[in-house]
């Protein structure tokens, strides 16, 4: 199936809407201002001035309106960054396939939960997802992610899991490593999305890699259902397929929302990461609200817990 995208002015947008007016269809996707379907082509126009043509007649229809990359792929479909990521070898044009991706957040932060999201982006949704502002999440600010996430959640089949601190500490103290906790959450999120997909199969599943394949599956060996089919693992996966980038954004926003809730409880904005500022804030909470309160909003096995206790003890003297 052909795909073409052109960028046009407001004036041209009016012409396009007039031209296809009799074939107009309703599409309630975010960012879409006009959509039409003719016998061999679907036309979707976005607020940004981009118009997407999909189908056998895509090249012909797009050529009516402006310069197109001849027979080429979508303009933003660049070569994957496989050269800098490590992991499984991905098929050619992986970025254009239907992929279920997963990623996690919060594992390096003393305060707040671990969150994992999995997200399915079908090939024909890739342009829309890009249009919604999804790109490598490392290039987006927290505020940008907060704006994008609701559209993604409304548009894409996804699952997001928040492992709160009380449960996290309990599971960790039972002897489960962070790697195992992550593996269990990824597997669970993927399972949820596959169930919601109702029998539709992704071309591939891509996990943003945090452990070697053998280690990952060893963590899961006692699980009743283990997702294995077409699973690829790669580091920096958010740059390899928009499904992982979208999952990363959804996971991040779930993390931020839980941090908002915990900050309100603590009466102070909880800092991210695990640096000296974190120790200071933790010590203040310790002095004000006690050990159990601090424990209930942190990953207690981090060395920050001890440092906070030392700082608090000095202040008590
Ligand atoms: Mg990751």
Whether 243 and 289 share a structural domain:
no
Whether 204 and 281 share a structural domain:
no
Distance CA 258, CA 115 (A): 10
pTM of the full predicted structure? 0.76
CA of 105 to the centre of ligand 1 (A): 7
Q: Where are the beta strands (DSSP E) in the chain?
A: 3-7, 24-25, 32-38, 41-46, 50-54, 99-105, 114-121, 157-163, 204-208, 231-234
CATH of the domain at 10: 3.30.310.10
Whether 224 and 297 share a structural domain:
no
Tokens 């982006």 found at: 121
Tens of pLDDT, residue by residue over 87-114, are 888 888 999 999 999 999 999 999 999 9
Phi-psi region of 279 (alpha: psi -120 to 50; beta: other; left: phi over 0): alpha
Q: How far is CA 98 from the centre of its chain?
A: 15
Tens of pLDDT, residue by residue over 149-163, are 999 999 999 999 999
| Residue 74 predicted with pLDDT over 60 | no
Which domain covers residue 245, as residue numbers? 94-258
Whether 161 and 21 share a structural domain:
no
CA of 226 to the centre of ligand 1 (A): 20
- Distances from the Cα of 86 to the Cαs of 15, 109, 232, 262, 272, in angstroms? 47, 24, 11, 35, 27
Check residue 76 and give its pLDDT.
Answer: 42
Decide if 69 is inside a domain: no
Whether 177 and 229 share a structural domain:
yes
Count: domains in the chain: 3
Whether 34 and 142 share a structural domain:
no
Decide if 71 is inside a domain: no
Decide if 83 is inside a domain: no
Whether 32 and 158 share a structural domain:
no
Decide if 266 is inside a domain: no
Decide if 268 is inside a domain: no
Pairing relationship of beta strands 114-121 and 32-38 according to DSSP bridges: unpaired
Check residue 9 and give its pLDDT.
Answer: 84
Check residue 84 and give its pLDDT.
Answer: 66
CA of 235 to the centre of ligand 1 (A): 7
Q: Of the residues 43, 63, 83, which one is the last residue of a structural domain?
A: 63
pLDDT, the chain, mean: 90
Tens of pLDDT, residue by residue over 202-250, are 999 999 999 999 999 999 999 999 999 999 999 999 999 999 999 999 9
Whether 178 and 137 share a structural domain:
yes
CA of 209 to the centre of ligand 1 (A): 7
Decide if 170 is inside a domain: yes
DSSP state of 29: -
Check residue 68 and give its pLDDT.
Answer: 63
CATH of the domain at 134: 3.30.420.10
Tokens of 186: 């990824």
Whether 122 and 219 share a structural domain:
yes
CA of 50 to the centre of ligand 1 (A): 31
CA of 104 to the centre of ligand 1 (A): 5
CA of 266 to the centre of ligand 1 (A): 28
Whether 98 and 151 share a structural domain:
yes
Q: Of the residues 211, 233, 258, which one is the last residue of a structural domain?
A: 258
As residues whose CB is below 5 A from the ion ligand 1, the structure lists: 103, 208
CA of 101 to the centre of ligand 1 (A): 11
Decide if 84 is inside a domain: no
Whether 14 and 54 share a structural domain:
yes
- Distances from the Cα of 263 to the Cαs of 168, 267, 275, 307, in angstroms? 18, 6, 17, 20
Whether 133 and 221 share a structural domain:
yes
Q: Of the residues 63, 85, 112, which one is the last residue of a structural domain?
A: 63
Check residue 62 and give its pLDDT.
Answer: 86
Instruction: Calculate mean pLDDT across residues 167-172.
Output: 98
CA of 190 to the centre of ligand 1 (A): 15
Decide if 243 is inside a domain: yes
CA of 213 to the centre of ligand 1 (A): 15
Most confident of 16-30, 62-76, 290-304: 290-304
């Amino acid at each position: 199936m052909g795909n073409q995208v052109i960028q046009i002015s407001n004036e041209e947008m009016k012409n396009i809407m007039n031209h296809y007016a009799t074939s107009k269809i309703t599409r309630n996707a975010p960012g879409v201002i006009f959509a039409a379907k003719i016998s061999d082509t679907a036309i979707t126009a976005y607020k940004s001035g981009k118009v997407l043509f999909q189908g056998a007649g895509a090249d012909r229809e797009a050529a009516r309106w402006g310069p197109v990359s001849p027979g080429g792929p979508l303009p933003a479909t660049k070569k994957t960054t496989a050269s800098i990521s490590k992991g499984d070898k991905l098929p050619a044009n992986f970025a254009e396939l239907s992929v279920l991706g997963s990623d996690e957040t919060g594992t390096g932060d003393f305060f707040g939960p671990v969150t994992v999201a999995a997200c399915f982006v079908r090939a024909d949704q890739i342009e829309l997802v890009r249009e919604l502002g999804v790109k490598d999440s490392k290039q987006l600010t927290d505020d940008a992610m907060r704006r994008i996430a609701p559209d993604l959640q409304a548009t894409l089949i996804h699952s997001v899991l928040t492992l709160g601190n009380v449960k996290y500490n309990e599971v960790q103290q039972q002897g489960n490593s962070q790697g195992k906790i992550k593996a269990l959450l990824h597997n669970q999120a993927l399972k949820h999305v596959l169930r919601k997909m109702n029998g539709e199969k992704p071309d591939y599943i891509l996990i943003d890699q945090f452990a070697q394949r053998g280690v990952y599956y060893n963590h899961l060996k006692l699980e009743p259902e283990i997702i294995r089919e077409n699973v690829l693992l790669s580091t920096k996966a958010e740059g390899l397929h928009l499904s992982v980038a979208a999952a990363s954004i959804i996971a991040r926003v779930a993390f931020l929302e839980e941090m908002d809730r915990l900050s309100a409880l603590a009466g102070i904005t909880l800092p991210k990461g695990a640096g000296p500022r974190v120790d200071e804030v933790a010590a203040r909470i310790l002095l004000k609200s006690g050990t159990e309160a601090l424990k209930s909003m942190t990953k207690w096995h981090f060395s920050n817990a001890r440092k906070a206790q030392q700082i608090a003890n000095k202040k008590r003297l």
